[in-house]
Amino acid sequence: MAYNPTLSIMGVVLTMYDRRNKLSDQVADDVRACLGNVVFETVIPRNVRLSEAPSHGKPALIYDIRSPGSQAYMKLASELLKRTTQAARAA
């Protein structure tokens, strides 16, 4: 923090979450227990369409806006805007 002492973390995003994998649940639970409200509620799932988008030279939202991964990123954006607005009001 010597370079930017006012820098703070707005949140932590859980990505590549696979609900079929018990380890994903355990990691998510551990991260939430350790970091609490810093962790965003929105979780970005492991999704083939998200992986395919860069090889087609497109952002995920343009490549397939209906995919679960794209939908999760839009939900995350909404959650981020909500946190930003709340932080601005508190300041």
- Residue 61: the pLDDT is 94
| Residue 5 included in any domain | no
Distances (CA, A) of 6 to 2, 3, 9, 75: 10, 9, 10, 28
Residue-wise pLDDT tens digits, 22-55: 999 999 999 999 999 999 999 999 999 999 999 9
Domain range for 64: 12-90
| Residue 1 included in any domain | no
Beta strand spans in 1-91 (E) = 12-17, 39-45
| Dihedral pair phi/psi, residue 2, rounded to 5° | -65, -30
Pick the closest to residue 73 from 53, 87, 91 (CA basis): 53
CA 51 to chain centre: 15
